[in-house]
Amino acid sequence: MAAGNAPDEVLGATNTATLRNARLADGRLVDLTVPGGRIAAVAPAAGTSPAATGPAATGDVDLQGWLVLPAMAEPHAHLDKALTAELVPNPTGDLLGAIDAWVAAAAAGRFTHEGTVARATAALELLAVHGVTAVRSHVNVTADVGARSVVAVREAAAAFEGLIDVQLVALCGTPLVGPEGAPTRAALAEALAAGVDLVGGCPHLDENGDGPGVIKICLDAAREAGLPVDLHVDETLDAGVLTLRHLARAVVDRGFDLPVTASHCVSLGVQPPAVQAAVAAEVASAGISVVPLPQTNLFLQGRDHPAATPRGLTAIAALRQAGVVVAAGGDNVQDPFNLVGRSDPLETASLLVMAAHQLPDDAYDLVSNQVRRALGLEPVTFAVGDPADLVAIDAPSVRAAIADAPRSRRVFRRGRLVASCDQQLRLHR
């Protein structure tokens, strides 16, 4: 992977003592002291000393004025599906076409354990080098597949221990409710035993139309396992579908006190403003985080609206105004659900600016600190004590970073250089 000019220090596997000449988003040039993986001091830059030019001698890294931001995070990936666009074509280009194509490919035996591990590994490498230090991935858990995909993605994630925090969601297939859902519920139990971190599902896609039943099963299973929940919710432009409200009420009525995330929530975006505000207030009261996914939903939704095509986005402004944690993600990457995608949150941020009318600083916050909050991780505000999960980008501003998406980046997790991109792609394990 080629890139532009970059500092020539290579840190290897050692921790950083100080990031010198780092430029913050407000323009300050500072030295960041980050021993032990946390920010210990933020001081005006002292300049480059000839006696401290290399990390081998001092543990310091001179960033030469590169922009330093909170590391990015991915709240909603599908690592088991990533990079399968050539393997699983989707001629119709819509959601049901993607689902049908995936089911057919799985039935034809196109997915092996080794292939899934390799693709998930490649996707994680791309996320790492682009500046991601935490990712949550949904993994298919179905009656026919069981927990096999979970095991494969878990194997890939193990190779990135210390580089990226990886959370796996058991994405339960349908049916899930009733006697016919017993095989899927058995697969969920298998996935829980295999070590998933969250319980997930698609209540609005239940083939029997029992979205509330799916929500109940997922909340009950999560409570019994002591795990959070992340559901695919309302991935449709049909204003008559509003499962998000059912979810918010179920969380409150059942007293579910573990973290809950609702991904997609597209149909909220086509509701009247008064409905958006009312539902957003219920979501905030329930403590549910919402994850819009512009790449995939701009690709999949709206194909049956040839005039005044609506955007496949949730009501970001109403949700944020109500106090909901909103964290944006990339979702699918080069698979039948999204034929393109670069595994780069700056691409997500760019679409938030263009399609969701977010200002650049807000867009970057939605793919960095807001994701960390949704994933239960500490945000990075450059205060003393914050985790030193940082990305240095060769760009003059946040706006320019989003606009140009420079390849020249250096990624620090807990103060340690874990990935860089200059003349070539390198991971520092």
Matching residue, tokens 């290579």: 10
DSSP 309: P
Q: What is the pLDDT of residue 53?
A: 38
Report H helices in 170-210: 182-194
Specify whether 41 is located in the same domain as 64: yes
Instruction: Tell me if 8 is assigned to some domain.
Output: no
Which pLDDT tens digit goes with each residue over 221-257? 999 999 999 999 999 999 999 999 999 999 999 999 9
The CA-CA-CA angle for residues 398, 157, 175, to 5°, reads 100
Contacts 24+ apart (CB under 8 A), 209-212: 210/177, 210/178, 211/243, 211/246, 212/246, 212/250
Final residue in a domain of this structure, among 329, 355, 374: 374
Alpha-carbon distance values, 64 to 6, 48, 90 (Å) = 9, 9, 46
Residue 214 has pLDDT above 80, yes or no: yes
Q: Indicate which residue of 125, 235, 282, 347 is catalytic.
A: 235
**80 lies in the same domain as 197:** yes
Is 235 among the residues known to form the active site?
A: yes
List the Cα angle 35/41/42 in 5-degree steps.
Answer: 125
pLDDT at 329 over 50: yes
As a whole number of angstroms, the distance between CA 214 and CA 250 comes to: 11
Residue 7, pLDDT above cutoff 60: no
318-344: average pLDDT: 97
Residue 425 has pLDDT above 80, yes or no: no
**Are 48 and 170 found together in one domain?**
no
Sheet of strand 72-77, all strands in order from the earlier edge strand to the far edge: 72-77, 132-141, 165-172, 198-200, 229-233, 260-264, 288-291
- Considering the domain architecture, whether residues 120 and 146 belong to the same structural domain is answered as yes
Would you say residue 31 lies in a domain? yes
pLDDT of 19-34, one tens digit each?
Answer: 999 999 999 999 999 9
H/E stretch holding 421 reads: strand 416-421
For residue 238, tell me if it sits in a domain: yes
Domain boundary among 352, 374, 396: 374
Give the model's confidence band at 426: pLDDT under 50 very low, under 70 low, under 90 confident, else very high: low
CA-based nearest residue to 197, from 221, 174, 166: 166
pLDDT at site 421: 81
**Segment 149-176, tens digit of pLDDT:** 999 999 999 999 999 999 999 999 999 9
167 and 235 together in one domain = yes
Q: Render pLDDT for 42-74 as a digit per residue (tens, 0 to 9).
A: 999 997 544 333 443 357 899 999 999 999 999
* pTM for the whole structure: 0.93
Q: Is residue 9 part of a domain?
A: no
CA separation for the pair 7, 3 (Å, rounded):
12
Q: Do 211 and 66 have their domain in common?
A: no
* Whether residues 397 and 305 fall in one domain: no
Give the pLDDT confidence of 279-325 residue by residue, as tens digits. Answer: 999 999 999 999 999 999 999 999 989 999 999 999 999 999 999 99
Residues 175 and 305 in one domain: yes
Assign residue 162 a region: left if phi > 0, alpha if psi is -120 to 50, beta otherwise? left
The domain boundary, picked from 337, 358, 374, lies at 374
The answer to whether residues 235 and 204 touch, using CB atoms and an 8 Å cutoff, is yes
Is the same domain home to 282 and 264? yes
The CATH number of whichever domain residue 324 belongs to comes to 3.20.20.140
Same domain, 365 and 385: no
Q: What percent of the chain has pLDDT over 70?
A: 93
User: What pLDDT was estimated at residue 2?
Assistant: 27
How many domains in the chain?
Answer: 2
Look over the chain and give the mean of its residue pLDDT values, rounded to a whole number: 92
329 to each of 41, 192, 262, 271, 344, how far by Cα in Å? 31, 24, 12, 22, 9
Which CATH number belongs to the domain containing residue 67 in this structure? 2.30.40.10
User: For the purposes of burial, counting CB atoms within 10 Å of the CB of 377, is it exposed (0-12), middle (13-18) or buried (19 or more)?
Assistant: middle
Q: What is the pLDDT of residue 4?
A: 31
* 100 and 44 co-located in one domain: no
pLDDT at 157: 98
- Inside any domain, residue 7: no
Do the beta carbons of residue 301 and residue 237 sit within 8 Å?
A: yes
The end-to-end CA distance of the chain, in Å, is 18
Mean per-residue pLDDT for 406-418?
A: 95
230 and 370 in a single domain? The answer is: yes
Range of the domain at 83: 72-374
In a domain, 30, yes or no: yes
The predicted-structure confidence for 345-369, as pLDDT tens digits, reads as follows: 999 999 999 999 999 999 999 999 9
In a domain, residue 181? The reply is yes
Q: Which of 16-20, 196-200, 360-364, 424-428 is least confident?
A: 424-428
How far apart CA 320 and CA 417 sit, in angstroms, is 33
Q: Is 258 exposed, middle or buried (0-12, 13-18, 19+ CB in 10 A)?
A: middle
Mean pLDDT of 7-18: 50
Tokens 């666009």 correspond to: 85
**Residue 323 falls inside a structural domain:** yes
